[in-house]
């Protein structure tokens, strides 16, 4: 793919960027050839994003040189980057929800007439159709963005960069938000783009995707480029080792210990959503001591509501939740916490931490009322600090100190902090939702180890995840949810992807062992 006579699309030479107290990029060299997909791999906080922000003109490097198509350049802002043909698709899309697809794509460089007063809507739509056809990026220009799927929104983002004439694309964690099918589709699109002469930088920490999609991989660790390898000449194991800096053992799950007594028991749980729409119906199952029960399903099929019902964050309309034999249906969250529930929420920023509180303060969140942390209404600061310090050390939360706010921590360390806090509560039941979302491989292994260790200690664990590999490697049993109901149960040791897929889209409802029609509709649940 690389040709010595053609200069590289992007060449970064000795890029160094320092922030107060941290060298985010330390003399990084990086080369993107024309027409290649080059993956940039590294743990959270390794410096990938900083490097790409430098390339996109959001940061200025302290040292080093940037060459675009062989020309040494200073990129002093995103508009200069766009001029140079660099386009960036951020992990969190930047689209105007109420605008149409076409409006979003042309936004900022609209084809206009009458001195900019009239937007040539037809022309804009035609241009979008043309681009869309050329690269196989299927979108409907007239739909409003709030109505389209996440996968299509991403295609809109890519089209946006192409519309501005980008031939160097930076994709930041593009698969983080996509479903399995959408990921496959994205991979095809990327291939198509490179065939048309575009060059692509793929920022990710998912090894599988790298192996599948990229031509070359550059690994960054602690601000330094560790090396660049051809994808076909490497393996997941080698990449993981490069990324973490030591060999990583893909986790072997511990010997299955016989589950004990029932900790969580749900019976006929139903919940009404907005406008009386049922979001959970007739959910019944239990979780025992020393057992991990996984919940599989496409996002939005009642998993969220199930968790809310168990943790007391939303009220159920019928059915019971029993914890340790006590009826805890519709009890407030505080009471459930005290009854021995630990909750590792899906959204750690919104629900798991108070980002502007110090790490120390966050470490007692939820447990702050216990006599260990407060007395006569006053906080026992010494005790809080001591405990927080202990947890930080025990769970290897990397921070300059517990007096720094949680906001300053990297995503992986924030998650470690939450897990440290929740496990230290001494819970009977752990509700973990997407516990490794957005984490790098080292942190994922850590989280998995801790959950398995908790299981060995006899905790009951309810695990909700959209990562099927994670679900099946950790769980003892997997329940599949669809349309707010449990379709059935699978033994985690015998993974059957076909059966799983059918259950996830509601084609098979194991409760009645009935294969439903192929009209594609969601099954009517049997009562």
Partner 1 sequence: MMGTGRRLFDKTSSLVPLISIVLGLLVGAAVMAAGGYDPIAAYRSLLDKVFGSKFDIGETLRQITPLIFTGLSVAFAFRTGLFNIGAEGQFIMGMTGATVVGVTVDLPAFIHAPLAIAAGAMAGGLWGALTGYLKARRGVNEVISSIMLNWIALYLSNFIIRQFLLEPGQQRSRMIHESASVSLAGLSKGMDYARMHIGMLFALAGVALFYVLLWRTKQGYELRAVGHNPEAARYAGMKVSRTIIKAMFISGLFAGLAGTFESLGVFHYEVIAASSPGYGFDGIAVSLLGGNTPLGILLAAALFGALTYGSAGMSFGADVPTEIARIVIGAVIFFVASHGIVRWLLKPDWFRKLNRPEAEREKGAAVHEHP
Interaction of residue 274 with partner 1, rule CB under 8 A: no
Mark the segment that binds partner 1 (CB under 8 A) among 165-173, 229-237, 287-295, 365-373: 365-373
Interaction of residue 425 with partner 1, rule CB under 8 A: no
User: How near is the Cβ of 82 to partner 1 at its closest, in Å?
Assistant: 25
Tokens of residue 319, six digits: 């059915």
Interaction of residue 384 with partner 1, rule CB under 8 A: yes
User: How near is the Cβ of 427 to partner 1 at its closest, in Å?
Assistant: 13
Tokens of residue 421, six digits: 């806090």
Task: Give the DSSP per-residue string, 377-405.
Answer: TEE-HHHHHHHHHHHHHHTT---S-TTSB
Q: Which positions ≥6 away from 498 have C-beta within 8 Å? A: none
User: How near is the Cβ of 384 to partner 1 at its closest, in Å?
Assistant: 6
Interaction of residue 272 with partner 1, rule CB under 8 A: no
Interaction of residue 369 with partner 1, rule CB under 8 A: yes
Which phi and psi angles does 239 have, rounded to 5°?
-60, -45
Classify residue 65 as exposed, middle or buried by CB count within 10 Å of its CB (0-12, 13-18, 19+).
middle
Q: What mask, x for binding partner 1 by CB under 8 A, covers residues 47 to 86?
A: ----------------------------------------
Contact by Cβ (8 Å): 414, 352:
yes
CB-wise, 252 or 376, nearer to partner 1? 376
Q: Which of 468, 398, 469, 411 is nearest to 440 (CA)?
A: 411
The whole-angstrom separation of Cα 362 and Cα 313 is: 20
CB-wise, 378 or 519, nearer to partner 1? 378
The whole-angstrom separation of Cα 334 and Cα 260 is: 26
Q: What mask, x for binding partner 1 by CB under 8 A, covers residues 329 to 358?
A: ---xxxxxxx----x-x----xxxxxxxxx
Q: Strand 374-375 to strand 378-379: parallel, antiparallel, or no bridges (unpaired)?
A: antiparallel
Interaction of residue 313 with partner 1, rule CB under 8 A: yes
Among residues 65, 83, 385, 467, the one that binds partner 1 under rule CB under 8 A: 385
CB-wise, 83 or 385, nearer to partner 1? 385
The whole-angstrom separation of Cα 205 and Cα 243 is: 9
The whole-angstrom separation of Cα 405 and Cα 486 is: 40
User: How near is the Cβ of 475 to partner 1 at its closest, in Å?
Assistant: 24
User: How near is the Cβ of 22 to partner 1 at its closest, in Å?
Assistant: 19
Residues 83-112 that bind partner 1 (CB under 8 A): none
Interaction of residue 365 with partner 1, rule CB under 8 A: yes
CB-wise, 299 or 356, nearer to partner 1? 356
Q: What mask, x for binding partner 1 by CB under 8 A, covers residues 483 to 502?
A: --------------------
Q: Which positions ≥6 away from 317 have C-beta within 8 Å? A: 270, 271, 272
Interaction of residue 306 with partner 1, rule CB under 8 A: no
The whole-angstrom separation of Cα 34 and Cα 168 is: 9
Interaction of residue 377 with partner 1, rule CB under 8 A: yes
Contact by Cβ (8 Å): 40, 218:
yes
The whole-angstrom separation of Cα 196 and Cα 522 is: 40
The whole-angstrom separation of Cα 66 and Cα 58 is: 14
Among residues 42, 282, 297, 366, the one that binds partner 1 under rule CB under 8 A: 366
CB-wise, 304 or 338, nearer to partner 1? 338
User: How near is the Cβ of 136 to partner 1 at its closest, in Å?
Assistant: 40
User: How near is the Cβ of 379 to partner 1 at its closest, in Å?
Assistant: 6
The CA–CA distances, whole Å, from 5 to 199, 278, 325 equal: 17, 63, 74
- Kindly state the number of chain residues that form the binding site for partner 1, as judged by CB under 8 A: 35
The whole-angstrom separation of Cα 437 and Cα 412 is: 9
β-strand partners of 88 = 170
CB-wise, 358 or 475, nearer to partner 1? 358
CB-wise, 356 or 491, nearer to partner 1? 356
Q: Which of 128, 129, 172 is nearest to 154 (CA)?
A: 172
The contact set with partner 1 (CB under 8 A) reads 311, 313, 332-338, 343, 345, 350-358, 360-361, 365-366, 368-369, 374, 377-379, 381, 384-385, 402-403
């Amino acid at each position: 793919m690389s040709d010595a006579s053609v200069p590289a699309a992007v060449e970064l030479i000795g890029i160094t960027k320092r922030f107060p107290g941290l060298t985010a990029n330390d003399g990084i060299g990086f080369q993107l050839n024309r027409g290649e997909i080059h993956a940039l791999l590294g743990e959270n906080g390794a410096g990938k994003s900083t490097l790409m922000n430098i390339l996109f003109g959001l940061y200025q490097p302290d040292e080093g040189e940037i060459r675009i198509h062989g020309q040494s350049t200073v990129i002093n802002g995103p508009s200069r980057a766009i001029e140079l043909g660099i386009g960036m698709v951020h992990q969190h899309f930047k689209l105007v929800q109420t605008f149409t697809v076409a409006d979003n794509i042309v936004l900022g460089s609209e084809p206009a007439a009458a001195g900019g007063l009239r937007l040539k809507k037809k022309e804009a739509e035609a241009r979008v159709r043309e681009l869309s056809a050329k690269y196989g990026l299927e979108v409907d220009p007239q739909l409003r963005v709030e109505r389209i799927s996440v996968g299509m929104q991403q295609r809109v983002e890519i089209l946006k960069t192409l519309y501005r004439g980008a031939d160097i694309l930076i994709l930041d964690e593009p698969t983080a938000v996509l479903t399995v099918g959408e990921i496959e589709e994205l991979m095809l699109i990327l291939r198509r783009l490179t065939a048309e002469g575009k060059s692509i930088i793929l920022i990710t920490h998912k090894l599988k995707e790298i192996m599948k999609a990229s031509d070359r991989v550059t690994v960054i660790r602690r601000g330094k480029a560790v090396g660049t390898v051809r994808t076909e000449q490497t393996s997941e194991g080698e990449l993981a080792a490069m990324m973490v800096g030591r060999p990583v053992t893909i986790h072997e799950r511990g010997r299955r210990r016989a589950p004990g007594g029932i900790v969580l028991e749900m019976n006929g749980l139903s919940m009404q959503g907005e406008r009386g729409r049922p979001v959970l119906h007739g959910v019944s199952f239990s979780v025992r001591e020393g057992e991990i029960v996984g919940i599989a399903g496409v996002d939005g099929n009642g998993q969220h509501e199930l968790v809310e019902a168990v943790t007391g964050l939303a009220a159920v309309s019928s059915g019971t939740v029993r914890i340790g034999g006590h009826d805890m249906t519709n009890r407030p969250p505080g009471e459930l916490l005290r009854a021995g529930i630990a909750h590792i929420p899906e959204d750690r920023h919104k629900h798991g931490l108070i980002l502007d509180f110090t790490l120390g303060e966050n470490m007692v969140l939820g447990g702050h009322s216990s006599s260990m942390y407060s007395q006569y209404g006053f906080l026992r600061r010494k005790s809080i600090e001591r405990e927080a310090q202990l947890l930080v050390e025990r769970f290897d939360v990397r921070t300059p100190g517990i007096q720094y706010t949680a906001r300053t921590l990297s995503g992986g360390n924030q998650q470690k902090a939450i897990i440290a806090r929740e496990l230290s509560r001494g819970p009977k039941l752990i509700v973990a939702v997407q516990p490794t979302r957005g984490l790098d491989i080292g942190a994922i292994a850590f989280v998995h180890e801790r959950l398995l260790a908790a299981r060995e200690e006899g905790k009951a664990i309810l695990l909700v995840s959209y990562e099927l590999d994670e679900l099946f490697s950790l769980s003892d049993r997997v329940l599949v949810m669809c349309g707010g109901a449990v379709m059935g149960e699978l033994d985690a040791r015998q993974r059957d992807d076909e059966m799983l897929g059918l259950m996830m889209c509601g084609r098979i409802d194991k409760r009645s062992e009935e294969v439903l029609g192929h009209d594609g509709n969601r099954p009517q649940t049997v009562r």
